[in-house]
Amino acid sequence: MSGRIRRKSLKLLEAEEIPEEEMPSPSTSQATKRKSVSKPVPPIVPPSASPKRPAKSCEKAACGAKIPICFSQMSERCAISSYTSRWYHLSPGEHFCNECFEFYYRSHKKGYEIFAKWKHNWSSNGKTEASLKNFMADQILPYWVQCTAPSCGKWRELPRKTEMTSDLIRKYICGIDDKAGKKSGGCEEAEDPRASATTEYFWIATLLFPPFLHDAPFAPFTRAYFPDGVGMSATYAPPPRSCNGHSGHRESRSDSDFDSCSESSDGSSSGKSIQHVQHQSHIPHLSPYFHPFYQPDEQRPALCLRPDIMESDEEKAFPEFAVAQQMYLGLRNMAIALWNLSPKEWLTVQRCTPHYICRGLVRIRGLHELSRVLSFLTRMGWINTGLLPALTRGVDILPGYSKPSVLVVGAGTAGLAAARQLRNFGVTVTVLEAQNRLGGRVFDDESLGVCIGRGAHIVNGCVNNPISLLCEQSGIKMRHIRPKCDLIDESGKQIDGSTDKRIDFHFNALLDIVAGWRKDKKRAKDTHLLGKILDMHTQFVEESQLTFSEEELQVLQFHFSNLEYACGCSLKELSALQWDQNEDYPQFAGEHTIMTQGYSSILKKLAEGLDVRLNVQVDRIDYSGQTVLVKAGGEEWTADKVLVTIPLAILKKRVIKFIPQLPAQKQKAISSLGSGIIEKVVLQFPSRFWSGKTGKADCFGHVPRTEDLRGLFPVFYDLTLKSSGFTSCVLMTHVCGQAISLIKEKTDTEVVDMCVDVLKKMFPEQDVRFPSRYIVTQWRSDAYAEMSYSYIPVGCSGETYDTMAEDVGEKVYFAGEATNRQFPQSVTGAYLSGIREVTKMVSPPPDT
């Protein structure tokens, strides 16, 4: 239901709730006025002389309650367990009699005001019908609590006036009255059979209402939603909050409210927009990087869940909740909220139980399902992931799940993420790495006095990014990159801000036109992106009769180079149809950040406690038998499964022989995707000579003089450590796209000379000298990488990433950024691909 239901008048009663024997006849009022002969009035029989009517059973199909007991017992005439004209069913063990129904429903009865007040409150906050049955479930049903004595664990019904609290749940012992402190019985008393009946498979099918939680931990996260739509009681919900943080009306939502938005992979203008979300600052202890639930009217960020709807994976795992989802949503939303509030410790059933508060036997069933829900969320990597302490010996976080032995080939981000997750799950795992170090294409260098990422160094969008989670768990800090990026040309002139904005708008408009062109799939034939952009630009100039100055065309080349950096290749190689295919999926929101201690600081922590074998170059993977045989020189390893995480460029070279050969579609995917190259140049100077023009900006841009110089040192990042007293003044830049050919045959010193020459032209007023120290990367010739990240060349499609991610015979699995269609070209994508493959390897028990 997407909106509020039209509710009936307080003075009307739903026909199905009125006992048939009390429904007035249409002619009753007229009959009382007639003076015609009527039937004689029978004599009054005293109660003691009237025959005792037999008790009625519950009329609810499949209920099975032969002698129901009224849990309410509020009416003086309550039937308790004797005859009543009608029993009202809430669950197989919970009924109330017609006399108690009338006690609350009839306006002249004492309970009417209580019900009417509740109904007004529920109708104001909730979207489900405020019926009297719902009132009974929400306000009158007794609480059930489990004894915490180690040798007991029996479920007990709390006395009527005892309110359930988290503290009571943690400390309850059989027979103790929470308020009076008296013992009415101990652990030796038998458990009520209604409690054990709740765990039967079909019990839930006869449940009238799902559990609506009281004071749920996810309440602060979901104040913009109807509480009963997310598994929470509408009478225990906090006031609604609009997305801008102010009080407002709750809103119902449709799928159209969740249009996806994507972002630039380098934090600069590249035709992609950076999305922003409202941080829920009103929630104590919540990291500003965590945003677990979608909020109405915001762009859809990655790794967010809708609190009011199950995801497709959830419906497959819990088909019994697919239609009536509130019970599952209450459990899931509780777990996600608790995990985000405290991600440094394992989320277990014991941690969740005190927060699961609702009335009735359904609480027992909900906690019975909780273990399954936590196991599912853990397996998916939504909770209990990352840098967590080792579990106590004997504790199984995924009870009943298959845990095959695994060999991981490659100790880069994907391999270490998978291995850590497998170890967390209790799986035997060994990592084989060809190099003498961890990290793969993550390689940090501190030789210049600051941490330099020779490979990855930027976190692209920190909200919900798993890298942010790892930083939160380990205490590692990230530094925000300020968005200011002044452009300077080779005459030393700073480009006017209005010119930059105008050309940036034009550039993005061209990309929008290209996006419109490719919607016509019948007419659109793939070509390289640069040619298509230039065609659109020429057409625009002809139709508008506008002219572009030389400076404006140079700035346009700067934006071209930014896009080449984001995609890892020349625009002449990039598919015009598919270059940004991942924009069809939600992307990470928030600011871009720099890892001040480098990505290696995270990977080293991931590797702690793992069995990692360095200097082991795998050359053969034989998966023809029951197990997988992996060979490296004269050494051999066997396991149930193997995860291959080596770079795409190395897969292309076929340095590993697969027996039997990989399927044809897998080989085609490997050969089809492109292997992009980005090289970095890092320079250390005695002073920050650039600060006179750039101020405190974290970066500044270089506008190329000619088109053939596009991609040659386009952006300079200021990595000077402010706390160091500017003793280590460092600039980092890169070479990308077609400019890679300009340095291909150059020595490191010659490349540095080229870079210094550019800086001299940009800062002619300064005495720019050769740097005291420098770093020039050579990823294109690195024997273990030969690339930076993947891209989609002309004629290829995003589906190739999906093919790259497919396992072979449930024995050989693949991970890495080139297998992640949603987040390619990033450390985050590599990390998530490793988690994804663990989810596939570790399967749930057959009966779940």
Segments of 194-243 assigned E as strands: none
Q: For residue 713, count other CB atoms closer than 10 A to its CB.
A: 25
**Nearest CA to 677 among 582, 741, 745, 598?**
741
The token pair at 300 is: 């859809």
Q: What is the DSSP letter of 459?
A: E
Query: What is the chain's alpha carbon radius of gyration, rounded to the nearest angstrom?
Result: 34
Could you tell me the CA-to-CA distances from 704 to 166, 488, 626 in Å, in that order? Answer: 64, 9, 58
Do residues 719 and 774 touch, judged by C-beta distance below 8 A? no
Helix or strand (DSSP H, E) at 408: strand 406-409
Helix, strand, or coil here: 36? coil
pLDDT at position 44 is 46
Pairing of strands 444-445, 699-702: unpaired
Furthest C-alpha separation in the chain:
122
Which residue from 739, 721, 709, 736 is spatially nearest to 684, judged by alpha carbons?
721
Q: Are strands 715-718 and 729-735 parallel, antiparallel or unpaired?
A: antiparallel
d(CA 149, CA 156): 13
Q: How many residues does the chain have?
A: 848
Region for residue 185 given its phi and psi (left: phi exceeds 0; alpha: psi -120 to 50; beta: otherwise): left
Residue 531 main-chain phi, psi, to 5 deg: -60, -40
Q: Distance (Å, rounded) from C-alpha 293 to C-alpha 221?
A: 7
Q: Is 683 helix (H, G, I), strand (E, B) or coil?
A: strand
Amino acid, single-letter form, for residue 196: S
- CA 724, CA 721: separation in Å to the nearest integer? 5
Query: DSSP strand E in 633-759: where?
Result: 635-639, 641-644, 657-659, 674-676, 679-685, 699-702, 715-718, 729-735
pTM for the model stands at 0.88
Q: What are phi and psi of 641, to 5 degrees?
A: -145, 160
The whole-angstrom separation of Cα 837 and Cα 810 is 11
550-567 helix and 497-518 helix, angle to the nearest 10 degrees: 60
State how far the Cα of 592 lies from the Cα of 717, in Å rounded to an integer: 13
CA 252 to chain centre: 21
- Closest by CA position to 414, among listed 806, 810, 817: 817
pLDDT along the chain (848 residues), means of 10: 37 39 40 42 47 78 87 94 94 95 94 96 94 96 96 93 93 74 75 94 90 94 94 85 47 39 35 49 86 87 94 94 92 98 96 97 96 96 95 86 96 98 96 97 94 94 96 94 94 96 96 90 84 96 94 97 96 96 92 93 97 98 97 96 98 97 98 97 95 93 96 96 72 97 96 98 96 97 97 96 98 98 97 98 81
What residues have CB less than 8 Å from 544, skipping those under 6 apart?
Answer: none
3-state secondary structure of 299: coil
Q: Give me the pLDDT at residue 594, please.
A: 92
Q: How far apart are CA 220 and CA 305, in angstroms?
A: 15
Of the candidates 108, 21, 107, 111, the one whose C-alpha atom is nearest the C-alpha of residue 75 is 111
> Exposed (0-12), middle (13-18) or buried (19+): which is 190, by Cβ within 10 Å?
exposed
Matching residue, tokens 């197990």: 627
Amino acid identity at 664 = A
Residue 182 has a pLDDT of 53
H or E stretch covering 612 = strand 611-613
Task: For residue 202, give the DSSP letter.
Answer: G
- The CB-side HSE value for 287 (13 A sphere, CA atoms) comes to 26
431, 411 contact by CB (below 8 A): yes
Can you read off the two tokens belonging to residue 380? 């998916």
Q: How many CB atoms lie within 10 A of CB 281?
A: 9
Sequence-distant (≥ 6) Cβ neighbours of residue 159 within 8 angstroms: 142, 177
C-beta of residue 78 within 8 angstroms of C-beta of residue 72: yes
